[in-house]
């Protein structure tokens, strides 16, 4: 009797622990590819099109701090003039 009760309690505890807390800290991101957290808590984001952003979770601020030139060619035609 004790073992089934303990197993049931363990299962209920693990189900409860599996629910993550979700908090939106930034909106308006366009296809983020890389995310890094700085020691001060700021979050740096690089988007697919090359925009580099700093997100400040404490204030909700979203700041564009630069751009990275991005050029991508189709793999099937490496000499193509159609760059992204």
Task: Tell me the pLDDT band of 6, cut-offs 50, 70 and 90.
Answer: low
Structurally, how many domains does the chain consist of?
Answer: 1
Q: For residue 82, is it within any domain?
A: yes
* Residue-range definition of the domain harbouring residue 61: 23-84
Task: Tell me the pLDDT band of 19, cut-offs 50, 70 and 90.
Answer: confident
Q: Closest by alpha carbon to 72, among 61, 64, 83, 57?
A: 83
How much is the pLDDT for 45?
96
The terminus-to-terminus CA distance of the chain in angstroms comes to 66
Q: For residue 47, is it within any domain?
A: yes
Angle at 76 between CA 70 and CA 77, to 5 degrees: 70
Reported pTM:
0.62
pLDDT tens by residue, 33-84: 999 999 999 999 999 889 999 999 988 899 999 999 987 666 666 666 655 4
Q: For residue 81, is it within any domain?
A: yes
Q: In what order do the strands lie in the sheet with 61-67?
A: 32-37, 43-47, 51-56, 61-67
């Amino acid at each position: 009797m004790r073992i089934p009760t303990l197993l049931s309690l363990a299962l209920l505890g693990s189900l409860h622990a599996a629910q993550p807390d979700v908090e939106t800290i930034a909106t308006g991101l366009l296809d983020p590819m890389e995310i890094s957290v700085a020691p001060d808590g700021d979050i740096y984001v690089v988007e697919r099109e090359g925009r580099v952003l700093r997100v400040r979770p404490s204030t909700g601020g979203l700041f564009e701090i630069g751009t990275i030139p991005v050029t991508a060619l189709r793999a099937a035609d490496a000499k193509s003039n159609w760059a992204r």
